[in-house]
Every structure is written in structure tokens, then in C-alpha cells.
Chain A
């Protein structure tokens, strides 16, 4: 079973920041938080990962709480192309088998 809990769906206005929450209260000290997204009928796409520090790349920012029990993925300026299912996954190394939950379906609205 997935070790994460995410809201089933969220809406975001185009051009605004999308903030996607994830709870992982049972995360171990050496497990990373990974985010992937899946645009309809395509393979999942890696977005970002982090251990305990906040991380930022060209796609998104990842904010992990100090107790590491939750995190937030931030898409700073959402576009229609960001409409997808977003998965939050905890993993020891990232290349071991990923356990996907049902994710959050983000709808970006014009």
C-alpha cells in the first residue's frame, strides 16, 4: 500500500500557483519524497524529489515540513498543460519499485 495520502482532486486557475499537498506521516528517516505526474494516457513523468530540504528545479518546488510528515509540490505558474494526475511517493532510493497511490487529479482552468 502507498505510504502517502493525497486529495483526490484539485482545481487551479491558469497562471496561478498550484499547491499540491501530500501526507507521509510514516516516512522513515532515509526515505525520499518523490513527485511524478501523468498526463492522460502517457507514462508518468518525474518532477522532483527531496529528503528534508526544500528543492526547486525548472518544473516545480518541493517544500517538506521540518518533521518530514508532509510536503507540498508547488507549480508556480500553472498552465493548461499542467493538467494531470500528480503522484507523491516515498522511496529509499528512487530506483527501487515505486508504490503509487491514486494521486491528485489537478485541473488547470482557463
Chain B
């Protein structure tokens, strides 16, 4: 039972345009959400996070939106750059008794074309 779902295995965008990566979750106990970026043969690198008490968090070119009622979050990258090409993982954590372990989606491969 996949508690965190990334339904798009891949996404291709042109350099300079917006990339939107989507993530859905089913467990209402999740209250902290993170996006990680992963290059081949490397470990995931933390990108941005959002607490369930917020609906938006922004860091430079990266913005994460959270819609709690829909159990949906998205990562916007504007403008997209070729160096952003990587696999992006959505992860969720339920603090307070969950030991802060992360539950990951299967990832979305983003390709930014020059």
C-alpha cells in the first residue's frame, strides 16, 4: 500500500519554463513533507520542506504547495535549468511517535532540455 504516490514517472520541460512535480498521500497522520533530488549513483539531497500548518514554502527557484484537504503537494521549479535534471522524490513524515522516519514516493524523473 503506497502511502506516498508520485503518479508521473517522468516529466520533460524546456529550459526557462516551469516544472511542476506532483505528489499525493493517503495517511492523514503525515504532517511534514519534503522534496529530495537524486542524481544517479548518489544519495538523495534535501531540497525543500513544508509543515502541515503552512500551504506554501518558497526557497529561491523552488516552491512547494500543500493542499491538506486534497492530500496533495506539488513542487514548482521556476525557471527550470538543465542542472535540475534528476529524479525528484516526495517524502512524508509523521512527527510525534513516528521517529521522524520518511516515507517516500517512487520518484519523478525530470529532464530539462536546453
Q: Are A and B a genuine interacting pair, yes or no?
A: no
